[in-house]
Amino acid sequence: MELSIVVSLYNEEESLRELVEWIARALAPHPFTYEIILVDDGSKDGSWSVIESLAKEYPQIRAIGFRRNYGKSAALYCGFEAAQGDIVVTMDADLQDNPEEIPEMVRMIREEGYDLVSGWKKKRYDNVATKNLPSKLYNATARKVTGIKLHDMNCGLKAYRNEVVKNIEVYGEMHRFIPYLAKNAGFDKIGEKVVHHQARKYGKSKFGMNRFIHGFLDLLSIWFLQKFGKKPMHLFGGIGTLIFLIGAVIAIWLIVEKLIAQAHGTVFRPVTDQPLFYLALVAVLLGAQLFLTGFLGELVARNAQDRNRYNIKRII
């Protein structure tokens, strides 16, 4: 199998037939052997009935149906597990992703050696205030944090080598950061292709403005897990030690200052009457707690089942 096309969908009964027919037309001029994996994320409309009908007409179709809505990451995870193609393409079911872009993305992986090619919807047909501007801000932040120079990190239209999707775990809401997951798994040749964006034809978007808030939080979460997930002591222990030392130095300085004044018979202010002393004590306690948090995190990380799991590229 050369190509697997994974489509996650939720309540898209109106667009499904048109999408499958469009994919078939776009790939007809090319000698690809391909499969279309439709993952129904617990749709409440007639999406599954449409899928059953299409499966009788198109032998390339395979389908997975969830009992309830789990989210796009869960749909992609199951689609990736089922994918058999050498190259895996993901796209949304709302007809905003253009299947005619697929052959060129496949060529970029095959001939230019990319591990992953991400689409870039350079010209968008979304609402400027609610989607375009927040998307630009979100992507600028993502580029800064991840170091991956993609203009559209969350574009649904992407192509991957099969080994990429088999070596990453997409969970929660991490589908927004698959390029970053791939980079941290050792697949760092990531390319970008300008793709044509279609205006939504049926229904309405399943994602509201809260996706940008969740996106920023998820970005911080995945950055922290990738950077300190297996070495929490480096973060908590380092910060805790610094805060502890600052508090200890301030407390000792106040005590020494009082003893010197007392020895010289000069007027001095009792240490316990000084607010700075209590701030120092808080710093000492907070630093100790952070250090212990890092220590406990280190114990958990060292006992994790995947503590010595590494992606091996080649062996001679």
pLDDT tens by residue, 99-147:
999 999 999 999 999 999 999 988 776 654 556 677 778 788 888 888 8
pLDDT of residue 205: 64
Structure tokens of 149? Answer: 């120079």
Q: Place 163 in a pLDDT band, splitting at 50, 70 and 90.
A: very high
pLDDT of residue 145: 82
The answer to whether 178 touches 219, Cβ cutoff 8 Å, is no
Domain count, the chain: 2
What is the average per-residue pLDDT within 283-309?
Answer: 80
Q: Place 189 in a pLDDT band, splitting at 50, 70 and 90.
A: very high
Bridge-based pairing state of the strands 158-161 and 87-92: antiparallel
Q: Phi and psi dihedrals of 29, rounded to 5? A: -75, -5
Taking the C-alpha atoms of residue 128 and residue 124, their distance in angstroms, rounded to an integer, is: 9
Residue 89 lies in a domain: yes
Residue 287 lies in a domain: yes
pLDDT of residue 233: 85
Start-to-end CA distance of the chain, whole Å, equals 27
Q: Which of 228, 261, 285 is the last residue of a domain?
A: 228
**By residue range, what is the domain housing residue 176?**
3-228
Same domain? 143 vs 236: no
Structure tokens of 246? Answer: 């600052």
pLDDT of residue 262: 82
Q: Name the more confident of 47 and 200.
A: 47
pLDDT of residue 307: 56
Q: Place 48 in a pLDDT band, splitting at 50, 70 and 90.
A: very high
pLDDT of residue 53: 96
Same domain? 249 vs 222: no
Same domain? 163 vs 177: yes
pLDDT of residue 316: 61
Give the rounded percent of residues in the chain with a pLDDT score beyond 70: 88
* β-bridge mates for residue 194, sequence order: 120
Max Cα–Cα distance, the chain, nearest Å? 99
Same domain? 269 vs 196: no
What is the average per-residue pLDDT within 249-258?
Answer: 91
Task: Identify the helix (H) or strand (E) that includes residue 88.
Answer: strand 87-92
pLDDT at 62 over 60: yes
Q: Name the more confident of 136 and 158.
A: 158
Taking the C-alpha atoms of residue 71 and residue 230, their distance in angstroms, rounded to an integer, is: 27
Structure tokens of 30? Answer: 């090319």
Nearest to 235 by CA among 305, 295, 307: 295
The answer to whether 219 touches 141, Cβ cutoff 8 Å, is yes
Same domain? 72 vs 168: yes
pLDDT of residue 267: 77
Q: Name the more confident of 267 and 81.
A: 81
Structure tokens of 91? Answer: 């796209």
Amino acid at 3: L
What is the average per-residue pLDDT within 50-58?
Answer: 96
**0.85 cut: is pTM over it?**
no
What is the average per-residue pLDDT within 47-54?
Answer: 96
Task: Identify the helix (H) or strand (E) that includes residue 35.
Answer: strand 34-40
Same domain? 27 vs 159: yes
pLDDT at 81 over 70: yes
Q: Which of 204, 228, 252 is the last residue of a domain?
A: 228
Same domain? 221 vs 256: no
Residue 313 lies in a domain: no
State the burial class of residue 166 (Cβ atoms within 10 Å of its Cβ: 0-12, 13-18, 19+).
middle
pLDDT of residue 26: 96
pLDDT of residue 224: 76
Among the listed ranges 51-55, 86-90, 183-187, 234-238, which one has the minimum average pLDDT value? Answer: 234-238
Taking the C-alpha atoms of residue 264 and residue 258, their distance in angstroms, rounded to an integer, is: 10
- Residues making up the chain, counted from first to last: 316
Most confident of 172-176, 211-215, 273-277: 273-277
Q: Please name the residue that has the structure tokens 């939720």.
A: 10
Residue 262 lies in a domain: yes
Same domain? 224 vs 236: no
The answer to whether 171 touches 225, Cβ cutoff 8 Å, is no
